Structure 1
Amino acid sequence: MQISSSAIPQPIVPGANAGNATAVDGTSLGLNGENAATATPVTPTPNAAAPLRRGLSNWDQPLQGDISSAQQALDFLEQSAAQLRSLKTDLSARLANRQRTDGTLEARVRQFSNSWRTRSSASGGTLDAQLNFSTKGSTTSFTVRGMNFSNLRSGAREVLAMSVGGGQNVRSVVLEPGLSDEQITQRFNEALAPTGVRAQISEDGQLEFSTSEAQWAQVRDTIAVQGGGIRFASGQLNRVKAEAEAPQVDPDTWQTNDSDAIRATLTQVLQALSKVEQSIASVRQALAQVAARVQNAAPATTKSGMDQVAQAFVTTTRQPGYKSLLSITSALAGISRERVLSLLSLRQ
């Protein structure tokens, strides 16, 4: 028996138009009549397609990323809050002698401490040690010994050479009499920005620096300064001490050795819970702002366009055959669990 070549399906040619009958037709697939497939999937009318594409592209990438980041940070904070509430109950029970010394309390403290060490990765790098949320990444704020406004304003003109990260990466900062705090900050900021370090005035009016949390360890161990003998020593670059701002929550210092230690730990747990709850409120507010941006980004004509596309899809999928299968698989392409969860979070 000889198989006719016309019974072998031809490959689908990307970009083929509906008029190219040799690409895919009902005969080659063994179909006929109203169920015969066409070379192209269902296509909405031009009036429906344009607003649909605009509505999705306006928020698909950056806004979806912001939603995912906020949701990840919120999940970590809510889990931490639940752990802290449980720890508060256990500490109170131990002080009231309602709980035996069986190691359970100590284990709970270690569990929370281990969990808290994952703050950066568990929050997707959006929560820093001060529990500030930012989709641009967490940072570490620090001060440098000798670099305070009173010291930097005094004395004659001096050129500081600063090295961050070692090697030949040396930046210059010119200090002159009469500079304001803002001018000093600006000069440090302009000089150090290429190294990933920024300068700013802190809430209490001090000169403060910041860098990404991932880069902090390298900055801390490599920052060096050479002066002209006025504010800083001349000669060669000398290492200076950089100290990070104390974290809002530091469970590694919590102790449960005796009643006094438990009482002190309970106070710290209550303070930590308060700060975590404040951060939760802040992240929820950020999530609400992103949701508002999504709604503002959607054009007014998107809903009607979506309705037309949906109706065209329903009509096509009711017809069995290749055209129906192609429409369904195209609609499901790119759908993931993370995308569905991000969209559902907007309805909360």
Structure 2
Amino acid sequence: MLPATTGSTSTTSPSHALAAPAQRGLLNASGDALSPGAQRAAWSGGAEAAGLATQASSVAVATPSPSTLAPTTFAPTPLRGDDAAPAAREPGAQGQVGRLQQGLDYLDRLAASMQQLKGGLSATLARQAEPTAALNSQVDQLRQLWSQRSRDAAGRVDGDLQTAPQDGASRQRFKLRGLDLSVLEQGGRETLRLQLPGQSQDGGSGKPVAIAVTLDGEGTQQQLQALAKALSPAGLTVQTQGQEIVFSVSESQWPALRDGMTLRGEGKRFPSGQPVRALLDPAPEAMQPQRWDLKDAAGQRLALGQLLQAQPKLAQARERLSEQLDAVASRSASGLAPAQAGALADTLSRSLSGAEYTDVGALLPALRGMHRDRVRQLLAG
């Protein structure tokens, strides 16, 4: 987690010296002033940012193949008649299908917009020409699509184009500036007090959530578990990424958490006294079209590089959402999970293998009128 003042990005080396004037100046730096490459460098040591620039410059003048990530049309088949009945009996199945279809539709529209803009950028760079009105219009369209991602994709994909769990919503990953694994192992015993903005069931503001967790400077794994346990009731998760501690929260909770989370320590790792605003560094997004400046070739190459890196992620996200949709539709159509269907078939087989004529005769009336297609649907797995 991070000590606080105001601001949002960059990773600092945490210790009690965070209160020093020079470091306070660093913490106050505006996150908006950082370039996309600098943001990714803060998260991944700069390797990804360097690779992006190299890849973008090397392919800038190449004319894209029309077949590259050609957008496909998704035409989901609604559940009707007999197939709809099991889905109605399964709580939330129809809602899951609807959200997954919405997510796939969004990815299809985003893929088409990205492909069109990629072709326009490549042609402009090849001609060494000024951006045309058509190219600027394509950028505006993509910016609008990207800004509406969370709503239009029904929470199925996050800012890095990673798919959400089938039973959950997309999440925002972030770091708390001033807290990493090395900090957990030094500084002695200290109680960290956090206050998180509350959220009501209707999405409005609720009662703030106060959390206290003790860092003892011993046993990194045990302290991580204690931190995860303390934050879990507030909907936050804790993971590690190298020497970094990465938190995540539902995207719907992120704006309030980013602007309203405060912390207070005991003067060892974090400042004592009055609570101060925690500085949360969000994970870089797959692309940042709102920051693109296409007036010169350098800006055009940067935009093209981000598009090239984002396209495989989008294709993978679409594949995963399709798999999730197939799984939900399969469960809805069969009425029984594969394990349940198999268990039922085994039970019938064992029961009838040694049955007398009278036993079979008692079973026949119950099976009268049951068609073969219905049995296959029942046992489908």
Band of TM-score, shorter chain: 0.5 to 0.7
Give 1:344's aligned residue.
none
**Partner of 1:165: helix, strand, or coil?**
strand
| Matching residue of 1:133 | 163
Quote the residue 1:165 is aligned against. 197
1:156 aligns with 2:196: no
Distance across 2 between alignment mates of 1:220 and 1:293: 38
Q: Which protein is bigger by CA-based radius of gyration? A: 1
How many residue pairs get aligned? The number is 256
Secondary structure in structure 2 of the residue aligned to 1:131: coil
Q: Which amino acid letter does the alignment assign opposite residue 210 of structure 2? A: V
State the identity %: 30
Matched with 2:6 is: none
Shift, 1:180, TM fit: 2.1
Question: How far does residue 168 in structure 1 lie from its aligned partner after superposition?
Answer: 5.8
Which of residues 294, 310, 314 in structure 2 aligns to 1:276?
A: 314
Aligned to 1:264: 302
Q: Which residue of 2 aligns with 1:77?
A: 107
Q: Contact 2:182/2:243 (CA < 8 Å) preserved in 1?
A: no
SS of 1:169's equivalent in the other structure is: strand
- In structure 2, relative to structure 1, the CA distance for the partners of 1:189 and 1:210 (3 Å cut) is same
Asked if 2 retains the 8 angstrom alpha-carbon contact of 1:72 and 1:124, the reply is yes
Distance across 2 between alignment mates of 1:260 and 1:83: 21
2:220 to 180, 184, 195: 180
| 1:287 Cα deviation after fit | 1.9
After TM superposition, give the deviation of residue 60 of structure 1 in Å.
4.1
One-letter amino acid matched to 1:177 = G
What CA deviation, in whole Å up to 9, does each residue of 1:32-77 have, x standing for no partner?
A: xxxxxxxxxxxxxxxxxxxx89962675432222222211111100
- 1:242 alignment counterpart: 280
In structure 1, how many angstroms separate the alpha carbons of the residues matched to 2:131 and 2:105? 32
Aligned equivalents of 2:214, 2:128: Cα separation in 1: 64
Cα distance, 1:294 vs structure 2: 3.3
Change (3 A) 1:54 1:291: closer
Any stretches of 5+ residues in structure 1 without a counterpart? 1-51, 311-348
Superposition misfits of 4+ residues, deviation over 6 angstroms: 52-55, 303-306
Q: Quick check: 1:211 aligned with 2:249?
A: yes
TM-score, reference length from structure 2: 0.60
Q: State the partner residue of 1:29.
A: none
Measured in 2, the distance between the counterparts of 1:208 and 1:241 equals: 13
Where do residues 1-348 of structure 1 align in structure 2 (5 Å cutoff)?
Answer: 56=86, 60-97=90-127, 101-134=131-164, 135=166, 136-165=168-197, 169-181=209-221, 183-196=222-235, 198-295=236-333, 297-298=335-336
CA separation of 1:275 and 1:304: change in aligned 2, threshold 3 A? farther
What letter corresponds to residue 188 of structure 1 in structure 2?
L
Contiguous gaps of at least 5 residues in structure 2: 1-81, 199-206, 346-366, 375-381
